[in-house]
Amino acid sequence: MSDGGVSSLSSLPGAAASASAVGLYARATPGFEERVAASVAQLREAAERFGAGLIQSSSLGAEDMVITDLIARHGLAIDIATLDTDALHAETLALLPQIEARYGLSVQVFRPVAEQVVHFVKTHGERAMYESLALRKACCGVRKLEPLGRMLAGRTAWITGLRREQSQNRAEVPAEELDGQGRVKLNVLADWSWADVWHYIATHQVPYNALHDQFMPSIGCAPCTRAISVGEDFRSGRWWWESEDAKECGLHQARSNEELKSGATA
């Protein structure tokens, strides 16, 4: 564990011995079963409380694959959706048919408006995200925020895989919060550790992104994700050219419905 409670490769036994994410990260820790039970209880209560107004917003990352497994394993009537930004790795998109085959669940896919993507790239170029923080956030706005607005339209609550351990910016993530648009956001793994996530994956043989085996613990769009090195923090491979306090895309920042519809990131 590195300073601030953020996972790093150097903190894990066997880091040099195995390139498997399960081998690197999975280990049983005290209270694991209790944390799993609490997450299941929160999901079950949410399904009863919000009914058809509830959706899991999945990044297809390790945490969200755990949540999907919990939903399927316990037969919970919760819709699942994801954002295909048109800039994801093939390994990320490969999880969609795996989820359907493994669980018999269909994942709703929300994509950016094609004309907006074309206009952004034509105006700012393919490498705009590297040019300035404003342009990178504008790219996230087009590819993520606007589709998220459509995903959440008509919903009263959504489920995320945010954990307090993920970064300094997320250190105070609560189990439940309001998202700024009148919806409840449920962070059902808020108090799980990275070791918990992978212990669950190993125990239940949950499908996961093959890029996790290539030292990519946090995976986003392909241009904005790289492998991390020994000693680097969990999210160092995301927007690595930016300062630590800028490393969010806006999906988990409270903002108005109008901002979501427009894809605004400011």
Active-site positions?
249
Amino acid at 70: L
Classified as helix, coil or strand, 158 is strand
Give the HSE-up count for residue 234: Cα atoms under 13 Å, Cβ half-sphere. Answer: 25
From 173, 212, 254, 250, select the one nearest 65 (Cα to Cα).
212
**DSSP tag of 250:** S
Rounded-to-integer distance, Cα 175 and Cα 50, Å: 16
**Helix, strand, coil % (nearest 5) of the chain?**
50, 10, 40
Rounded-to-integer distance, Cα 242 and Cα 254, Å: 21
Rounded-to-integer distance, Cα 8 and Cα 167, Å: 11
Both structure tokens of 122: 């034509």
Residues facing residue 161 across a β-bridge: none
Classified as helix, coil or strand, 257 is helix
Distance of CA 237 to the CA centre of its chain: 14
Rounded-to-integer distance, Cα 78 and Cα 43, Å: 9
Cβ-contact 210, 62 below 8 angstroms: no
Q: Name the burial class of residue 258, with classes exposed (0-12), middle (13-18) and buried (19+) by CB atoms within 10 angstroms of its CB.
A: exposed
